[in-house]
């Protein structure tokens, strides 16, 4: 009798296990234990230029970021390789400026994935000046938009993406605060720069930039433009002619020699141009630029 009870107990338990398993499989036919490790490195982000890669960085912990234009390379006249073209084509999320990197348009003609075009996103589809990343307020807009795109690609990380977007916006707001304060009161609110990269920055903080070349560093100024700049530097007592590490300093030096002004480097952060800039990254380079602008424009806080 005892043995019969034990046998009956086992049978009931056995049947119960089968019913439970059958019910589970019926109602949860998919993999019941999703493998979350598969999500690591899920979103592949490709940015054409360094500043956009920096703005997209550290937002989604499961994203990888690749930059097409490497350190020390000037992006205006860059030519992507076949491999670069493939990298851009295969990216899940491609972030482009669309003007400083006009070469991207051919490379992505057949692309099916999502593309964020920063100039279009900011509402400047036909504006010629592409250097929007130098304005920390516009940069905040870019971060927000990239954050929204990442939430669509990676909804499991929505909360952490939003937190990281806020952290990055706080960094950019800090830069804006320091520029506002640092450039509020300047005796000579004018500079000369080699290529016309600082228009957005100047407009945001209320100073004037006279450029030697045009919006691209390859644009050559006319002789009459150089005479005009020489007169302007003298009559407005402009102290500094800025040039960039990735462009030739020859014309800036000639103008400075002619007028008695100084020369200095102002970084347009189009790519990382030196070991120091690689260490400083976007926020550090912005701070370094601010110190140079304050000195050049004779600003007091
Ligand atoms: Zn430029």
Global pTM reads: 0.84
Where in the chain are the domains?
Answer: 38-180, 184-296
Q: Over the chain, what is the mean pLDDT?
A: 87
Separation of CA 100 and ligand 1 centre (Å) = 7
- pLDDT for position 220: 79
Euclidean distance between CA atoms 47 and 103, whole angstroms: 13
pLDDT digits (tens, 9 = 90+) for 21-38: 444 444 444 443 334 344
Separation of CA 194 and ligand 1 centre (Å):
10
Choose among 250, 1, 42, 37: nearest CA to 161: 42
Q: Which CATH homologous superfamily contains domain 184-296?
A: Nitrogenase molybdenum iron protein domain (3.40.50.1980)
Confidence of residue 13 (pLDDT cuts 50, 70, 90): low
CA 79–ligand 1 middle distance (angstroms) = 15
pLDDT for the residue 10: 52
The CA 223 to ligand 1 mean position distance, Å, reads 22
pLDDT single digits (tens) 235-246:
999 999 999 887
The tens digit of pLDDT for each residue in 253-284 reads 999 999 999 999 999 999 998 999 999 999 99
- CATH of 38-180 among 3.90.25.10, 3.10.105.10, 3.40.50.1980, 3.40.50.300: 3.40.50.1980
Q: Which two tokens stand for residue 211?
A: 């450029």
Residues 105 and 49: beta-carbon distance below 8 Å: no
Calculate how far, in angstroms, residue 174's C-alpha sits from the geometric centre of ligand 1: 24
* Per-residue confidence (pLDDT) for residue 299, from 0 to 100: 98
| C-alpha 247 to ligand 1 mean position (Å) | 10
The angle formed by the CA atoms of residues 129, 291 and 48, to the nearest 5 degrees, is 35
pLDDT at 238: 97
Residues in the chain: 301
Residue 194 has pLDDT above 80, yes or no: yes
Alpha carbon distance 266, 132 (integer Å): 16
% residues pLDDT > 90 (the chain) = 71
> Which pLDDT belongs to residue 125?
77
Asked, colleague to colleague, whether 38-180 and 184-296 share their fold, the answer is yes
How far apart CA 208 and CA 191 sit, in angstroms, is 6
CA 134 to centroid of ligand 1, rounded, Å: 10
Residue 298 pLDDT > 90: yes
What pLDDT sits at residue 295? 98
Cα distance between residue 131 and residue 266, in whole Å: 14
**Range 89-111 average pLDDT:** 90
Q: Looking at per-residue confidence, does 85 or 12 come out higher?
A: 85
Residue 53 has pLDDT above 70, yes or no: yes
Tell me what pLDDT residue 11 has. 56
Q: How far is the CA of 209 from the centre of ligand 1 (A)?
A: 14
């Amino acid at each position: 009798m005892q043995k019969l009870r034990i046998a009956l107990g086992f049978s009931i338990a056995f049947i119960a296990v089968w019913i439970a398993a059958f019910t589970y499989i019926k109602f949860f036919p998919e993999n019941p234990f999703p493998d979350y490790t598969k999500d690591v490195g899920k979103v592949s982000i490709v940015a054409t230029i360094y500043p956009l890669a920096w703005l997209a960085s550290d937002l989604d912990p499961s994203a990888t970021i690749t930059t097409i234009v490497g350190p020390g390379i000037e992006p205006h006249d860059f030519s992507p390789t076949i491999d670069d073209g493939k990298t851009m084509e295969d990216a899940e999320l491609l972030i482009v400026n669309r003007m400083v990197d006009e070469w991207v348009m051919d490379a992505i003609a057949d692309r099916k994935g999502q593309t964020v075009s920063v100039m279009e996103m900011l509402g400047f589809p036909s504006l010629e000046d592409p250097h929007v990343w130098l304005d920390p307020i516009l940069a905040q807009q870019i971060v927000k938009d990239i954050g929204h795109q990442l939430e669509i690609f990676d909804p499991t990380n929505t909360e952490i993406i939003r937190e990281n977007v806020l952290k990055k916006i706080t960094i950019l707001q800090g830069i804006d605060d320091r520029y506002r304060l640092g450039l509020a009161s300047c005796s000579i609110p004018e500079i000369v720069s080699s290529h016309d990269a600082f228009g957005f920055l100047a407009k945001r903080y209320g100073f004037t930039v006279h450029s030697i070349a045009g919006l691209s560093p390859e644009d050559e100024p006319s002789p009459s433009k150089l005479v005009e700049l020489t007169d302007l530097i003298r009559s407005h007592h402009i102290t500094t002619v800025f040039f960039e590490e990735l462009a030739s300093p020859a014309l800036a030096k000639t103008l400075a020699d002619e007028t008695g002004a100084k020369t200095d480097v102002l970084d347009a952060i189009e790519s990382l141009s030196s070991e120091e800039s690689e260490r400083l990254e976007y926020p550090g380079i912005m701070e370094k630029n601010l110190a140079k602008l304050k000195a050049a424009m004779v600003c007091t806080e």
